[in-house]
Amino acid sequence: MESAEIARRFLRFFEERGHEVVPSASLIAEDPTLLLVNAGMVPFKPYFLGQRKPPYQRATSVQKCIRTPDIDEVGKTTRHATFFQMLGNFSFGDYFKELAIPYAWELLTSSEADGGFGFPEDRLWATVYQDDDEAFSIWRDKVGLPEERIQRRGLADNYWNMGVPGPGGPCSEIYYDRGPEYGKEGGPVADEDRYLEVWNLVFMQYQLSTVRSKVDFDVQGPLPAKNIDTGMGLERMAAILQGVDNIYEVDTMWRILDLAADLTKTKYGRDTRNDVSLRVVADHMRSGTMMVGDGVVPSNEGRGYVLRRILRRSIRHLRLLGAGDERYLHELTDAAIEGMGETFPSLRADAAHIHTVIDAEEQSFLATLRTGTAIFDASVEETKRRKDTVVSGAQAFTLHDTYGFPIDLTLEMAAEQGLSVDETEFRRLMDEQRQRAKADAAAKKTGNLDVSVLGEMLERAGTVTFTGYDAVEAEARVVGLLVGGANVPSAGEGTEVEVVLDRTPFYAEGGGQLADQGTIKLSSGAEIEVLDVQTPLTGLVVHRGRVRRGEAQAGDTAFAQIDVERRRAISRSHTATHMVHRGFRNALGESAAQAGSENAPGRFRFDFTAAGAVPPSVLRDVEAEVNATLIDDLGVHASVHPIDEARKMGALALFGEKYGSEVRVVEIGDYSRELCGGTHVARSGQLGLIKVLGEQSIGAGVRRVEALVGIDAFKFLARENVLVAQLAEQLKTPREDLPERVSGLVTRLREAEKELERIRSRQVLEIAGELAGGAQDVGGVAFVSHRAPGGVGADDLRRLAVDVRGRLTGRPSVVIVAGVPKDRPVVVVAVSDEGRARGLRAGALVGVAAKALGGGGGGKDDLAQGGGANPEAIGEALAAVRRAVGSQ
């Protein structure tokens, strides 16, 4: 049975039993304590915590999940994976154990012809929490499972909590006996390789007040409404129903693994090391594809770092399989899209965007590998120079943390050089980094209390009505006031406050559009200046600002009014973003998908996916096309449609954005059509003018364009016009000839600078003979010190030091030359072969000089360079080196 069919049967079974089929949420978690959705219940967490009222009592879903804590174990075993799909059915205060257990049994044991999974009843086992007699009785008396196949287990195995105060309770797990060839008899408590867990039924029936660990918590009392949360791993279920040994051999994963083996000319199942690499590639390519499809782009922080690490581990393991510098991620991404595309059709629709991001990251990392290899080679040289055999853990950590160089690659390359790596130090530094990350995560969890307060407010107020599409002011009621995250009855003058109204014209920041600003005047005479507006929970709009005068009271009648000119300027920018998006798609193809934006008054930035830099000619063409469209003065219309209908209309959906079943479509004539909740102008002509300032890279496969709109664009061009006029006047050149004239001047200037450099170098080197002739004897060493005049560059100082050293042949010599090329002192030390034989080292001597200058330096034994911050100390630096030579 294919994975897609397993998902269909699961959803259909529970839909027939009154469950709302809920589409998978994005992998980008709404929960601020999570980078990525890591469990099937995460999208429903606010309902379980009582922060929001569920819109249905029963639900079922196939949820995309990513877990990365055990990423280093992926591939080493056949059980670990980063991406998985969790099938789940949920009850919010509706049914409980009496239905959850029979539902699971019926679906598992019903024949395939009847829509079930056809499991033989005699091969299923169940576990229950040790004190859960109720679940035990249901299994034995209602389901009819023999008592000897129901096992009781403790807190570690059969009790569930969220890790924070909230609902928790016992659980019952269902296991499938794979047979004696997989292990010993005795049920799940004896062998969980033979007895494979297929479904976990969680019974949330208690309120936990303090949670110290999975097995250490305080129970406050029973929940007023009991809830059901179940989870069945689709990949594990597929392994059983497809008759394969593990999740890497199921249809969606095998497609990628088999292609990776074919591309690298290896065979799965013949070599343990190759098998590990093939499993890593299969898992990580599927995970990376799903993450990019949900709007994640590679970066050095947060979820972007998770994606980057996953893709780079894939490339690393392809190299281990013999790929070298060949680029295979494009084909492997295709395999992942085809494998998952039936369950998640958006992957196929967004394939061009996904390829652009992943291809660019592959190209970037292959360059990083070359850079990292050069840095590693330098570390090896330094290690061997010290006559050591161990590369320091700090160097390995820097390669890993700064350059993205995998530790296993460092270990392998070190072994090839006959060296080892101080793994203990490396692991210590990695652990310190993880502890910092955990501390940050723990700090974020304290935000749960604030979310709970906001949840209560949302429950009390209901969904806040946004009136800002049609009005810039509105009468409303103050539903609640928050000061410092706490609900308060009033807030006095000067207090920073968060205000919740039952209706508002203020647009909350979202979709790239900055929030409105303005004022809220209350019936009590108080006035609140609104500086920011956010939606911390869906349906809840929070106005952040300061009480300008009077005392704000919860329950007051309010008159909310936005800054109209700011709104108009932002709306122009937002409409311009849509048009520029369409322009780049027309110029570069549909793979130029929006990857972020910011719409501010008079200006905007637009991020989009592209394989490389956009040529200036394309920027000009896009700008010209968009401005020509402005002249047509197209009407801008917004309408609400079911999301499937909107997609059929050709409306673009933006990556990383979450959409409900009903969506708002914004159309600019026939030129642009996008899903968007932002505010816009009435006609394109109101934008006046768009001026693209330029573009740049902000990450692998992502470019950023910045532009001005309306009067800001006009002011910019006016300033440019004045500057061009001034240049034309000063150079006595017609405007149209300015580029050629300026280019000629720059060329002549550079040639003049080069000639000056040559003259200065000759002048510097002319004194080399004089300096060598004036060498002093310091403890049997020919010692030369010289302070060069201002303006002599570091390169000239090095040439001079080497030239003087070359004239002091046949005897130990040390030459130190110093200068101040750019307001900061530079010092160069050169030591002859005979000097090095006496133990003199240029690197050590330059360190002495640099210390006196208040800086640092280094280099090789024969030539080294340093610097500092105190030019007045050059004399002392030269004297300090002389003393150091004399003391040898």
> What's phi and psi for 229, nearest 5 deg?
-135, 115
Give the pair of three-digit tokens for residue 70: 């055990």
CA distance 106 to 116: 8
Ligand-binding site membership of 330 (annotated): no
> Sign of dihedral through CA atoms 551, 556, 557, 558?
positive
Nearest Cα to 690, choosing from 581, 791, 572, 601?
Answer: 572
CA distance 608 to 802: 51
Q: β-strands 166-177, 20-21: how paired? A: unpaired
Nearest Cα to 160, choosing from 203, 130, 209?
Answer: 203
CA distance 767 to 764: 6
DSSP 738-795: HHHHHHHHHHHHHHHHHHHHHHHHHHHHHTHHHHHHTPEEETTEEEEEEEPPTT--HH
Nearest Cα to 357, choosing from 595, 597, 35?
Answer: 595
CA distance 565 to 585: 31
Find the length of the chain.
888
Ligand-binding site membership of 317 (annotated): no
Q: CB–CB of 37/29 below 8 Å? A: yes
User: How many angstroms separate the first and last alpha carbons of the chain?
Assistant: 81
Q: CB–CB of 836/806 below 8 Å? A: no
Dmax over CA atoms of the chain, in Å, equals 107
Which whole-number Å values give the CA distances from 243 to 236, 250, 251, 343, 655, in the listed order? 11, 9, 11, 21, 37
Q: CB–CB of 867/826 below 8 Å? A: yes
CA distance 318 to 325: 9
Question: Which residues make Cβ contacts (< 8 Å) with residue 809, sequence separation at least 6?
Answer: 832
Long-range contacts formed by 11-14: CB under 8 A, 24+ apart? 11/60, 11/61, 11/62, 12/115, 13/103, 13/106, 13/107, 13/115, 13/116, 14/58, 14/60, 14/89, 14/103
Query: How many angstroms from the chain centroid is the CA of residue 11?
Result: 31
CA distance 636 to 676: 12
Q: How would you write 55-72 as a 3-class SS string?
A: CCCEEEEEEEEECCCCHH
Q: CB–CB of 621/613 below 8 Å? A: no
Nearest Cα to 174, choosing from 107, 84, 78, 226?
Answer: 107
Count other Cβ atoms within 10 Å, centred on residue 416: 9
Residue 272 burial (C-beta neighbours within 10 Å; 0-12, 13-18, 19+): exposed
Ligand-binding site membership of 65 (annotated): no
Which whole-number Å values give the CA distances from 683 to 178, 486, 525, in the listed order? 66, 44, 39
Give the pair of three-digit tokens for residue 547: 């009480």
Q: What angle do CA 636, 641, 647 make, to 5 degrees?
A: 90
Helices 393-403 and 423-445 cross at an angle (nearest 10°) of 50
Nearest Cα to 280, choosing from 87, 68, 28?
Answer: 68
Q: Which residues are annotated as a binding site?
A: 574, 578, 676, 680
Q: Which residues are annotated as a binding site for Zn(2+)?
A: 574, 578, 676, 680
